[in-house]
């Protein structure tokens, strides 16, 4: 049993059992969660964009859990690769295309790419960025001449960085050939420089080291900001003044959250633009690169059976669910300033919602998709406090192991009221979705790690078979489940006759299980 408080800090009770949980929003039981005990499969983000002196752009999207890094305004001299397709699978260049383009773009020019992971000692760098860079390397999609630098305040040698990174590298599931050898080669290309994020001198030292590796080649530089947002500007200022490339491009990948609210987001953009042009800034949301999120639009727009059902006429509610089975674990310095709504809902879940609910875009071009997403967002009703529940995880003991409360984390201020759990009912006031609740639920330190989209369809009116189910109408509702992670799957719950004599019905799953493909 966890105690939650609402946004006005009223105490309410929320019961959570290992197999399911039920949450009441607006007096209705909208939420049904099935927590399975699947083991989380680590996933990798990456979308790196290279740009040569000839202004040839290459957006490399390779990872099963890749991120979509998008400059907001289009860049001149666009090639087909430049147009990011905002998470649509069919729009992403194949590995072969990427390799060919990488060879054409970078190697022919004998240019080099230096990737600096700013905040290399942190969670994101360890869990996602280095593994993603290795996966790019493994697939042969990094240019011949590249160097990776970790940059953070922590004191570390190159060898210590390599040791840290090596613990998180994995080979992609189906390709293990030469993996150890490739890892060794990759690690040899990784270096570390310790420095403060606001120190011009420390970035100038980094610049010197980068130059040693780049030699006389055209040097393109990418800075990946894997740091808490409050130090983005310091780092960008120093990187652009003291460590940007003299004769190649310099680009910066910025992680979410892009501010705490509309004003701070605008202020962040304004501040970034003091040092960078818009086409140097790549904002990233790694959920858009997850396989099943990419597949969402394919599922909708290339299967005639789904699109006609995709509206208030047939859909009762849509649930967007994120849960993690671990807490902040030392990330409190960042997390406590943001909370679960800004950490997960406002970006990852909202992007999925927009992709789910948008009208058919004119084309798969990024601008066209963005336009449709914007329409969805503009049609959304401002969230009412009564439609939100927030909570914070407490300490509990399970199987003899005691798990800490959020406020037990040393990096979390004592007495913090920052929510680590939130559930909200959102509404899109347009012709397609009027009255359909989009239920978001996100939490840390819950029973399992998973991310799902659940689409619950309406009851069959006057269902002939009602009595075969008794009065439990929920049991008879069709449900489409898109399991983003772990163990990616799409399944449709249907009612079915139990084979044999008589007329007994049960629920069956029409299943697309990725692991079995
Ligand atoms: N973790 C994740 O899975 C994801 C994170 N993100 C985003 O990535 C960014 C980084 O996240 P994450 O890696 O989790 O963050 P961390 O809290 O792990 O911070 C990264 C590094 O930044 C430095 N740092 C931390 N706090 C401060 C501070 N107050 N002042 C100066 N330096 C600090 C630390 O390095 P040192 O002390 O060595 O300098 C730390 O190792 C955030 O914007 C987050 O939203 C996005 C998607 C997923
Ligand atoms: O953006 C974030 O995402 C991670 C979860 O990402 P996943 O790909 O592992 O599901 C989350 O842990 C982190 O708090 C948040 O900043």
pLDDT at 471: 62
Q: What is the overall mean pLDDT for the chain? A: 80
**64 alpha carbon, closest ligand:** 2
Measure the CA–CA gap between 255 and 263, rounded to whole angstroms: 18
Spell out the SS3 assignment of 405-450.
Answer: CHHHCCCCCCCCCCCCEEEEEECECCCCCCCCCEEEEEECCCCCCE
pLDDT of 5 over the 90 cut: no
| Burial of residue 343, with CB atoms counted within 10 A of its CB: 0-12 exposed, 13-18 middle, 19 or more buried | buried
Pocket test of ligand 1: the residue of 43, 47, 118, 122 to mutate, having most ligand atoms within 8 Å of its CB, is: 122
Residue with CA at minimum distance from ligand 1 atom 18: 122
Element housing 322 (H / E): strand 315-323
**328 alpha carbon, closest ligand:** 2
| Residues 69/253, Cβ–Cβ less than 8 Å | yes
ipTM of the complex: 0.97
Measure the CA–CA gap between 443 and 450, rounded to whole angstroms: 10
User: Cα dist. 464→199, 433, 469, 493 in Å?
Assistant: 73, 28, 10, 18
pLDDT at 3: 28
* β-pair partners for 114: 147, 221
Q: What angle do CA 236, 347, 172 make, to 5 degrees?
A: 85
User: Does ligand 2 come within 6 angstroms of the Cβ of 345?
Assistant: no
* β-pair partners for 426: 438
Phi and psi at residue 491, in whole multiples of 5°?
-140, 150
| Nearest one of 33, 11, 31 to 438, comparing CA atoms | 31
Model confidence, pTM:
0.78
Pocket test of ligand 2: the residue of 286, 321, 331, 411 to mutate, having most ligand atoms within 8 Å of its CB, is: 286
Phi and psi at residue 244, in whole multiples of 5°?
-85, 160
User: Does ligand 2 come within 6 angstroms of the Cβ of 43?
Assistant: yes
Using a pLDDT cut of 70, give the percent of the chain over it: 76
pLDDT at 106: 43
Indicate which atom in ligand 1 lies nearest the CA of residue 229. Answer: 43
- Collapse the DSSP code of 82 into the 3-class scheme (helix H, G, I; strand E, B; otherwise coil) and give the result: coil
| Residues 389/414, Cβ–Cβ less than 8 Å | no
Mean pLDDT of the region 413-433: 97
Residues in CB range of 179: below 8 A, 6 or more apart: 138, 171
CA 334 to ligand 1 center in whole angstroms: 7
Confidence of residue 266 (pLDDT cuts 50, 70, 90): very high
| Residues 215/107, Cβ–Cβ less than 8 Å | no
Pocket test of ligand 2: the residue of 119, 253, 287, 343 to mutate, having most ligand atoms within 8 Å of its CB, is: 343
Measure the CA–CA gap between 60 and 66, rounded to whole angstroms: 10
Pocket test of ligand 1: the residue of 334, 337, 339, 410 to mutate, having most ligand atoms within 8 Å of its CB, is: 334
pLDDT of 312 over the 70 cut: yes
User: Does ligand 2 come within 6 angstroms of the Cβ of 142?
Assistant: no
CA 465 to ligand 1 center in whole angstroms: 55
CA 429 to ligand 2 center in whole angstroms: 29
Residue with CA at minimum distance from ligand 2 atom 15: 343
pLDDT at 345: 97
Indicate which atom in ligand 1 lies nearest the CA of residue 286. Answer: 47
Residues in CB range of 413: below 8 A, 6 or more apart: 332, 336
pLDDT at 170: 79
- Give the residue numbers marked as catalytic: 348
User: Does ligand 2 come within 6 angstroms of the Cβ of 118?
Assistant: no
Mean pLDDT of the region 247-259: 92
User: Does ligand 2 come within 6 angstroms of the Cβ of 452?
Assistant: no
pLDDT tens per residue across span 99-117: 444 443 444 457 999 999 9
Confidence of residue 356 (pLDDT cuts 50, 70, 90): very high
Confidence of residue 174 (pLDDT cuts 50, 70, 90): low
**123 alpha carbon, closest ligand:** 1
Nearest-10 Cα torsion for 196, 199, 201, 202: 20
469-472 LR contacts (CB < 8 Å, sep 24+)? 469/495, 469/505
pLDDT tens per residue across span 280-310: 999 999 999 999 999 999 999 999 999 899 9
Q: Is 355 left (phi over 0), alpha (psi -120 to 50) or beta?
A: alpha
| Residues 496/505, Cβ–Cβ less than 8 Å | yes
pLDDT at 70: 44
pLDDT of 315 over the 70 cut: yes
Indicate which atom in ligand 1 lies nearest the CA of residue 330. Answer: 17
Q: Is 144 left (phi over 0), alpha (psi -120 to 50) or beta?
A: alpha
Confidence of residue 59 (pLDDT cuts 50, 70, 90): very low
**Which domains are present in the chain?**
2-40+290-405+418-516 (3.30.360.10), 47-289 (3.40.50.720)
pLDDT at 385: 94
| Nearest one of 333, 335, 229, 226 to 272, comparing CA atoms | 229
Indicate which atom in ligand 1 lies nearest the CA of residue 125. Answer: 13
Nearest-10 Cα torsion for 26, 351, 434, 422: 0
pLDDT of 500 over the 90 cut: no
Q: Among 1-10, 71-80, 429-438, which is the least confidently predicted range?
A: 1-10
User: Does ligand 2 come within 6 angstroms of the Cβ of 343?
Assistant: yes
Measure the CA–CA gap between 491 and 480, rounded to whole angstroms: 6
pLDDT at 512: 83
Ligand 1, CB within 6 Å, residue ranges = 119, 121-125, 127, 152-154, 197, 226-229, 231, 255-257, 286, 331, 333-334
């Amino acid at each position: 049993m966890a105690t939650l408080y609402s946004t006005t800090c009223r105490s309410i009770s929320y019961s959570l059992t290992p197999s399911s949980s039920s949450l009441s929003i607006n007096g209705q039981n909208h939420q049904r969660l099935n927590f399975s005990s699947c083991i989380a499969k680590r996933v990798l983000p990456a979308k790196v964009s290279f740009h040569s002196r000839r202004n040839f752009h290459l957006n490399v999207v390779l990872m099963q859990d890749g991120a979509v890094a998008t400059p907001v305004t289009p860049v001149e001299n666009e090639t087909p690769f430049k147009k990011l397709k905002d998470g649509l699978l069919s729009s992403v260049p194949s590995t072969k295309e990427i390799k060919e383009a990488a060879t054409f773009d970078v190697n022919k020019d004998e240019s080099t790419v230096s990737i600096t992971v700013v905040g290399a000692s942190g969670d994101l760098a360890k869990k996602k960025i280095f593994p993603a860079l290795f996966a790019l390397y493994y697939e042969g999609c990094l240019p011949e001449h590249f160097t990776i630098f970790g940059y953070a305040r922590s004191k570390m040698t190159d060898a210590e960085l390599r040791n840290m990174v090596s613990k998180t590298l994995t080979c992609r599931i189906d390709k293990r050939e030469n993996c150890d050898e490739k890892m060794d080669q990759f690690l040899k290309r990784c270096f570390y420089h310790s420095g403060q994020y606001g120190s011009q001198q420390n970035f100038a030292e980094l610049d010197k080291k980068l130059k040693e590796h780049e030699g006389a080649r055209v040097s393109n530089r990418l800075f990946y900001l894997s740091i808490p947002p409050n130090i983005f500007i310091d780092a960008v200022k120093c990187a652009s003044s003291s460590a940007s490339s003299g004769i190649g491009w310099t680009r910066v990948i910025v992680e979410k959250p892009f501010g705490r609210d509309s004003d701070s987001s605008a202020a962040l953009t304004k501040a970034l633009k003091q040092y960078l042009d818009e086409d140097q800034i790549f904002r990233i949301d790694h959920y858009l690169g997850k396989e099943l999120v990419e597949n969402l639009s394919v599922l909708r727009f290339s299967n005639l059976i789904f699109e006609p059902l995709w509206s208030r006429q047939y859909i009762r509610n849509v649930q967007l669910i994120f849960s993690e089975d671990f807490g902040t674990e030392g990330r409190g310095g960042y997390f406590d300033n943001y909370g679960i709504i800004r950490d997960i809902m406002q970006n990852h879940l909202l992007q999925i919602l927009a992709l789910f609910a948008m009208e058919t875009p004119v084309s798969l071009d990024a601008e066209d998709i963005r336009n449709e997403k914007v329409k969805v967002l503009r049609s959304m009703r401002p969230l009412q406090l009564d439609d939100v529940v927030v909570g914070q995880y407490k300490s509990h003991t399970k199987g003899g192991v005691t798990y800490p409360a959020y406020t037990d984390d040393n990096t979390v201020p004592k007495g913090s009221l920052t929510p680590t759990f939130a559930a909200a009912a959102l509404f899109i006031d347009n012709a397609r979705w009027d009255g359909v609740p989009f239920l978001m639920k996100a939490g840390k330190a819950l029973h399992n790690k998973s991310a799902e989209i659940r689409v619950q369809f309406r009851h069959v009116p006057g269902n002939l078979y009602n009595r075969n189910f008794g009065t439990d109408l929920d049991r008879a509702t069709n449900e489409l489940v898109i399991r983003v992670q772990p163990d990616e799957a799409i399944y449709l719950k249907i009612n079915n006759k139990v084979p044999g004599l008589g007329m007994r019905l049960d629920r069956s799953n029409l299943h697309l299980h990725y692991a079995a493909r």
